Amino acid sequence: MLLDERIRARQRDSVKAEQGVMTWHKLVRLIWNSIGPAVLLLWGQAGFAQSGEEEITYAKHVAPILQEKCQVCHQPNSVAPMSLLTYRDVIKGSKSD
C-alpha cells in the first residue's frame, strides 16, 4: 500500500508540474540552481583566502549577485514567491517549516 501511495504522489506531482504549480522542493531547487554556483564559488574562494586577503561577506559579495540575477523577480508583489531584497528575506526563505 505504501508503494501505491508513492506512485499516486508522484502522479500528483507530475500533474502539478504540468499545470505550472511550484512546489517547495522545486522552488528550493530553482533557487539553488540559480545562486548555488555563485555561493559555492565564493565559499571556495573563502577557503583559499590568506590572512592578508579580504574576508567574503554577504553585503559585499553575495548581495550584488542576488541583486543582478534574482531581485528582478524576487521582490514583494512580483512573479516569484519570496523576496530576496534583504539578508533576512534570504535567510527566512531558506528555512523550511
pLDDT digits (tens, 9 = 90+) for 28-84: 777 777 787 777 777 766 655 555 567 888 888 888 888 888 888 888 888 888 888
Q: Distance between CA atoms of 44 and 49, rounded to whole angstroms? A: 9
Q: With residue 38 as reference, give the H or E element that holds it.
A: helix 24-48
**Alpha carbon of 2 to those of 25, 52, 66: distances in Å?**
21, 57, 41
Q: Distance between CA atoms of 45 and 34, rounded to whole angstroms? A: 19
What was the pLDDT predicted at 53?
66
CB–CB of 31/24 below 8 Å? Answer: no
What was the pLDDT predicted at 42?
74
Confidence band for 25, pLDDT divided at 50, 70 and 90:
confident
Confidence band for 93, pLDDT divided at 50, 70 and 90:
confident
